[in-house]
A = this chain, B = another copy of it.
Amino acid sequence: MAYGFNGKFLRVDLSSSKISVEERRESFYRKYFGGRCVIAYYLLRELKPGIDPLSPENILIFAPGVITGAPIAGSGRSSVGAKSPLTGAYGEAEAGGFFGAELKRAGFDGIIIKGKAKHPVYLWVHDGEAEIRDARHLWGLDTGESQEIIRKELGDKLIRTAQIGKAGENMVRFACVIHDLRDAAGRVGMGAVMGSKNLKAIAVRGHRSVEVADPEKLRELSKWLLDNLDKTGTLHQFGTGAMMTSHVLSGNLPTRNFRDGEFPNPEGISAQRIAETVRIGMEGCFACPIRCKKVVKFEEPWSVDPIYGGPEYETLAALGSNCGIDDLKAICKAHELCQRYSLDTISTGATIAFAMECYENGLITKEDTGGIDLTFGNAEAMLKMIELIAMREGIGDVLAEGVKRAAEKIGKGAEKYAVHVKGEEVPMHDPRLKRGLSLGYAVFPTGADHNNNLHDTDVRSFPALGIFEEVPLEDLGPRKVRLFVYFTNWRVISNSLLMCNFLPWVTNPRQLTEIVRAVTGWDTSAFELYKLGERSMNLTRAFNVREGFTPKDDRLPPRFFKPQTSGPLSKTAVDPEKLEKAKELYYRMMGWNPDTGAPTMEKLAELDILWVADEVKTNVREDLD
């Protein structure tokens, strides 16, 4: 009896319309677990290096993990991966909701999609079977319309979907994959890869329940969670975005393209204000009692449809303060448009903020914008830009390439306003405040990532892993690097287990270990899970090395080496020399060659993935193999 996995991956070749099922043994799941690790495994094994991410040669992978779909809070997430069209590096994004659990219930542990369909199609996966269906009638539709038609034509209202809207179809490089209209696998352009394959949607329905090894233990853990939920009361009450004022006071709220440190009305774009005004309810993910997801609805001055949920903190900051906007309804509308069109709200907001700063500095003119006054704070302009980007119209076609490529096209020194790492727009936390982020943004495989990063305003120690003495916020020396390594290697477990980072498991290795044990029946330990995190980091690092990435690519945008123009961080910036030293120490602690950034043979051997050595020739010693 297998617990936690079906033993089956669905393989789809859109070019030949062939569908097959690949069987996998338990040892595969215990080594790679799911999500990021499984995606990196297949990309390293099967993707040709150097291909264009928007060509049919790219491989798109949907993968939940071994605990996904088990009856325990936080197990609803799922991953989407491919070579990223935004960064050219390893690409992967996760979404909450129900899709991953439904895929497991449908009998599969993942979907591996190759090639490109001759015309728009969607994939219908249900109870161990799959078929490729015509989607020409769906192409061009918003995700909401498209989902409704799919559910109707398949005759099941409980079908779960992963879809793209116009932005994905138009291969906007930061198009996302929208799950059930609300949950975005947001970052690094996985929606553009769907679009490049003429794949409008994946519809999933399953009736097999996910068997677990020790249901009694899972119930006990659920009870532990409920007993400890007071700590996450804010999340339950408001969702993300309830700390806007403190973010402004610390300097963490990105304002006007990370330029400024003062934002006059943070409460106006807060989760509390949403609760007081436009919110009509809260929703949750599979098996989760926290229900942290806002649902907003209003009719004036724009109509916002509640089927698209509501904005998270990242969205409120990216399309709000980072664009100098404090018009809450405009931000909510912007969020809804992004869900309709399948746009990553972070990259969308960051790209518009970049364009606004270019505009204010004369690098983009009214002629370029088609008459739009693209100044910071102009909510209407922001909304209009979203439309242009999704449709790739006018200046939107340039911005749809992301800030890195847009800056190259605009020229005239626009690069200095392009706040990105490896091409990925920086999310809504300032590394001038959080030293851990400065290192994390620089080195993470997908680019500037906030989910798997060390927010050292909140995390100063990690007693359960043996770091019991607090490391000061401003430290970027060996102790901070150690904390960073331990914390992030632990945190990235969530990319392979697909456990939600909002649940307290992330800092409670004991409980997370117990969950994995209860679901799979494996006699696992915090040590084994930590090694899973390391394996994930090494596989994705190896992917990037194979694509030609070097330590030079692990760098911050110049903006963070200078203080904010005003506010609490007007005298503080990241010290580039300290960051370089921390980076080198990070490589060494990770078991990577500090000159190439590549995993060493001994680290690959220690993680039992020595096959990866063939993929990163550098530093591989044949005589030791």
Q: Which A residues form the contact surface with B (CB < 8 A)?
A: 27, 30, 463-469, 478-479, 481-482, 485, 509-510, 513, 522-528, 530-532, 581, 584-585, 588-589, 591, 600-603, 605-606, 608, 610, 623-625
Contacts and interface: CB of A to CB of B under 8 A. Distances in A.
Contact of A523 (B463, B523, B532, B591): B463
A454 to B, nearest CB: 15
A133 B462 CA distance: 47
A528 B589 contact: no
Given A482-B608, A624-B584, A464 B589 contact: no
A605 B625 contact: no
Contact of A465 (B464, B525, B585, B623): B525
Tell me whether chain A's interface is mostly helix, strand or loop, or mixed.
helix
Contact of A509 (B30, B525, B602, B625): B525
Given A584-B624, A589-B602, A589-B606, A526 B526 contact: yes
The 7 closest A-B CB pairs, nearest first, are A588-B602, A466-B528, A525-B526, A478-B605, A526-B527, A527-B527, A509-B525
| Number of copies of this kind of chain in the complex | 2
Contacts of A605: 478-479, 481-482, 585, 589
Nearest to A594: B602
Contacts of A603: 589
Contact of A464 (B481, B524, B581, B602): B524
Contacts of A530: 527
Nearest to A469: B27
Nearest to A581: B624
Given A589-B606, A606-B485, A524 B625 contact: no
A588 B610 CA distance: 14
A195 B523 CA distance: 47
Contacts of A532: 466
Nearest to A481: B605
Contacts of A464: 523-525, 527-528
A530 B530 CA distance: 11
A439 to B, nearest CB: 14
A585 B602 CA distance: 6
B585 A466 contact: no
B478 A624 contact: yes
A478 B509 contact: no
A625 B479 CA distance: 10
Contact of A600 (B27, B588, B625): B588
Contacts of A465: 525, 527-528, 531
Contacts of A479: 605, 608
Given A464-B528, A589-B602, A602-B585, A510 B523 contact: yes
A147 B603 CA distance: 52
A221 to B, nearest CB: 15
Contacts of A526: 513, 525-528
Nearest to A531: B466
A481 B465 CA distance: 24
A600 B581 CA distance: 16
19 contacts: A463-B523, A464-B525, A465-B525, A465-B531, A466-B525, A466-B608, A467-B608, A478-B625, A482-B605, A482-B606, A510-B523, A526-B526, A526-B527, A581-B624, A585-B605, A588-B602, A589-B603, A589-B605, A591-B591
Contacts of A27: 468-469
A464 B525 CA distance: 6
Contacts of A584: 624
A596 to B, nearest CB: 16
